[in-house]
A and B are shown apart, each in its own frame.
Chain A
Amino acid sequence: MVNSSDASSPPPHRGAHAIAGSGAAVVAEDLHVVRGGAAVLDGLSLAVPSGMIVGLLGPSGSGKTTLMRSIVGAQVVKSGRIEVLGRPAGSRELRRRVGYVTQQASVYDDLTVRQNISYFRRVLGAPAGDADRVIDRTDLRPVADRLVGSLSGGQRGRVSLAAALLGSPELLVLDEPTVGLDPVLRVDLWGMFRNLADEGTTLLVSSHVMDEAKRCDRLLLMRDGALLADDTVQGVLEVTGTDDVETAFLRLIDRGEPDLRSLDDEQSGAHGRHEEEPR
């Protein structure tokens, strides 16, 4: 796997990365994004393997949202390649195969939960029963006929999530879905993510809370638009010799060298992995 800080890596590395990404839901290579005159992503390369929960962790301003926007095709990209489910990011066909939840709940406050969901369902062209399915899945049935503007922040976030679940997308890109939630709801939500992954959905979940790393199958640790780590939770902790991700993050910064071990390295027996077998 290439060292992401080296934007001009020679072709052999890229080749290796392409193999690592062969079963991947998302492959990014040498991605450059400029926002407001500043380089937000500067030669980022990574792969998100299919059927797993991949945590995208990093402090605020590290480029997580920009990366997610690039994956769903909402971001103007200066250079580099991103492939999502085998297609260039932003392809027309991907618009129904990828679900995206922005950080801020992007739903209509002046419509009820059900009206919101059924509008997005029609836009997607999903079957009629899908609205009830996602409302139940996100536990919104008790408030289904209330205006979204009258709900709590956590409930509004779930409406936004429910809309993204419509049509059962193969890839879910969730930008800080648990921010501001009480611990009980947060655990529930991670339980739901786990169920979705068990059903074969790939989830890319961002967070700035390092604690949440433990619930992911793999981690992408980001800082200043570059990767600090692309590894399993176990792997990151082993490499840095700690037992919490926050300290691991700090040690990786001190070390000055990222921990980039693609899925293939790992399968060749480099080190153990999280409880779930990757598909």
Chain B
Amino acid sequence: MTPARTLATTGRVLGQIRHDHRTIALLLVVPSLLIGLVAWIFVDTDVFADIGPAMIALFPFIVMFLVTSIATLRERRSGTLERLLAMPLGKGDFILGYALAFGLLAVAQTAIVVSFAVWVCGLEIEGSIWLLFAVAVADALLGTALGLLASAFARTEFQVVQFMPLIVFPQILLGGIFIPRDQLPAGLEEISDWLPLSYAIDALQAVAADSESTEWIMVRILAIAAWIVGSIVVGSITLRRRTP
């Protein structure tokens, strides 16, 4: 693994996306549109103030998961991955190259979503906006990392799309958006304690309400980071130079 090859891969992935203007537009605009829609639905209530922070966690997470898993699956299917692995490219170069490229996109997307939620939709953030941004970026990166991992277990586009309900939906259901996590039945609460999206939603809600210390939030970010690193490591182990 070398920085030059990792960065070459990042540059190549970004170059591919740069030629696809519609994807860029969708990536950058859609999460904000959805946040705007939620804000509008609850315009005369204070529901948006409660669930708005969670929405910031949700949409970039889902979008990055889908885009990343499909992009890497496409690479497996088109034969380019086989070619790259027959060349002196490290598996880590490939996975990290992708993670960096989509991570950069995630930063841009998150910046737009957070700005839109706060300044256009009037989401009130009592805590630090920078901390909110940090959690949101970690969360979008988590979507990227889990997408990389999911694509390792999918052989077709149909399968990879099915991984979204499998991997993403339970995290949303148990993440505390529908019922606060401490009101979940015994067993489910423990499960939700282990799911990475729960940390992101907890942290975003805490920043919005300014209810916890910065250290408490940093621990949540670290837990998400551990999931990101773990997914990337497992994802690169599942890459095989020799296939049956």
Residues of A near any B CB (own CB < 8 A): 34-36, 72-77, 90, 92, 95-96, 98, 100, 102, 104-108, 110-111, 115, 119-120, 122-125, 147, 163
Contact = CB atoms under 8 A, between A and B. Distances in A.
Given A90-B242, A124-B88, 13 more contacts: A36-B244, A74-B85, A74-B86, A75-B243, A95-B88, A100-B86, A106-B82, A106-B83, A108-B16, A119-B15, A120-B83, A123-B87, A147-B19
Given A108-B12, A111-B15, A123-B8, A102 B82 contact: yes
A142 to B, nearest CB: 20
Contact of B19 (A90, A95, A111, A123): A111
A76 B243 contact: yes
Interface string B65-83: 0000000000000111011
B233 interface: no
A100 B81 CA distance: 13
B25 interface: no
Contact of A124 (B11, B85, B87): B87
Interface in B2-55: 4-5, 8-9, 11-12, 15-16, 19-20
Contacts of B85: 74
B155 interface: no
Contacts of A108: 12, 16, 78, 80
Interface string B83-94: 111111100010
A72 B87 CA distance: 10
Interface residues of B, number: 26
Interface in B76-125: 78-80, 82-89, 93
B72 to A, nearest CB: 13
A148 B16 CA distance: 11
Given A92-B88, A111-B16, A123-B89, A73 B242 contact: yes
Contact of A122 (B8, B78, B80, B241): B8
Contacts of B79: 102, 104-106
A123 B88 contact: yes
A95 B86 contact: yes
Contacts of A92: 88
B121 to A, nearest CB: 34
Nearest to A95: B88
Nearest to A35: B244
Nearest to A72: B86
Contact of B242 (A34, A75, A110): A75
27 contacts: A73-B86, A74-B242, A74-B243, A75-B244, A76-B242, A76-B244, A95-B88, A98-B86, A102-B79, A102-B82, A102-B83, A106-B83, A108-B78, A108-B80, A110-B16, A111-B16, A111-B19, A119-B9, A119-B12, A119-B15, A120-B83, A122-B5, A123-B5, A123-B84, A124-B88, A125-B4, A147-B19
A108 B78 CA distance: 8
Contact of A115 (B9, B15, B80, B243): B15
A120 B16 CA distance: 14
Give the top 6 A-B pairs by smallest Cβ distance, nearest first.
A106-B79, A122-B8, A119-B12, A106-B83, A95-B88, A110-B16
A77 B16 CA distance: 34
A98 B86 CA distance: 9
Contacts of A34: 244
Contact of B83 (A75, A122, A163): A163
Given A74-B82, A106-B82, A119 B8 contact: yes
A35 B12 CA distance: 33
